Amino acid sequence: MSSSEMPNFRGTTVLAVRKDNHVAIGGDGQVTHGAVVLKGTAHKIRKLKGGQLIGFAGSTADAFSLMERFEGKLDEYKNNLRKAGVAMAKEWRTDRMLRRLEAMLVAADRESLILITGQGDVVEPEDGILAIGSGGPYALAAARALHKHTRFSAKEIVTHALHEAAAICIYTNDNLVVEELT
């Protein structure tokens, strides 16, 4: 999916990296409404009850609704992240009420890392790196360079790349929350 087809969510950056059997997802803490910063310490990354990690970009209320539904899908599909992601994307795209929700989700477990969108997309990156939100392209570029040219762990790559995104994107701050599965 090209960046011109992705919704432009302002006010967040979420980055996920898989490296050496570890996965880390991190997000900044800034919440904006237009050009106004409403909060600088939001937590956009959650550890789910089944041990998965999830991060979101977009409307906070919409994202929380989607995360609850996704947890239900994980229960339904016995914690199979890929199957739950496909079921979630299908429901999100076809349900009249869900279609109106404006958010994107990045989810990970020990075997999978996926992006789930309201357009019905479930994307697993070839290089093990995903980024969403307004600072996503900056974090993605930094993470890819760090992944190729350093020996940093997944968590270190996420942390350093998010700091780089925060230095460039006015909708991203450097108050980070980073969770890791090892």
12 belongs to the catalytic site: yes
End-to-end CA distance of the chain: 29
Both tokens assigned to 76: 């339904």
Both tokens assigned to 123: 């994307």
User: Tell me, what DSSP letter sits at residue 100?
Assistant: G
Closest by CA to 17, choosing from 111, 84, 113, is 113
Please tell me which residue in 12, 13, 159, 172 is annotated as part of the active site.
12
Strands 36-39, 53-58: pairing is unpaired
List residues with catalytic annotation.
Answer: 12
